[in-house]
Amino acid sequence: MYGIEHFARHGTIARVMGFPTYGEGPFERAGIKTSVPLLSAFVAVCTAECVAGGLLWRGRRSGAILTLALLPLESVFWVGFALPIPPTFAVVRIGSLLRSRSAWRRPIH
């Protein structure tokens, strides 16, 4: 949300300790300019992932399905914005899902 507010107010990518918080990656090289709608779409995908986490926390299979369905959407933003850390978290998340398969094989509520 801070990134959207900063971009909307200043028209530039927010920086932390001199590093861009996102961007300056393949999206820009492909001519896809950073915009409030693009950043808002990223926030929407992240919010949906939080919903999936909440469902998983409650032991719902729908959370596992949602997190797996969102992975391709998330990866587009990770690559497009050149975000190096989220793919590592995705590997941990998928590994955790696979380890706890019996917990999320319960019927969808």
Q: What whole-number percentage of the chain has pLDDT above 90?
A: 28
Give residue-wise pLDDT tens across range 62-109. Answer: 998 999 999 999 999 999 988 888 889 999 988 888 887 765 555 555
Residue type for position 34: T
Q: Which residue has the higher pLDDT, 19 or 66?
A: 66
Q: Calculate mean pLDDT across residues 5-28.
A: 82
Q: Using pLDDT thresholds of 50, 70 and 90, give the confidence band for residue 51.
A: very high
pLDDT of residue 103: 57
Cα distances (angstroms) measured from residue 93 to each of 14, 20, 21, 42, 52:
27, 25, 22, 19, 11
pLDDT of residue 72: 95
pTM of the predicted model over 0.85: no
Total residue length of the chain: 109
Whole-angstrom distance, CA of residue 74 vs CA of residue 67? 10
Q: What whole-number percentage of the chain has pLDDT above 70?
A: 93
Q: Which residue has the higher pLDDT, 78 or 1?
A: 78
The answer for 17, left when phi > 0, alpha when psi is -120 to 50, beta otherwise, is: left
The secondary structure of 15-55 as a DSSP string is: EETTEESS-SSHHHHTT----HHHHHHHHHHHHHHHHHHHH
Mean pLDDT estimate for the chain: 85
Q: Where are the domains of the chain?
A: 2-104
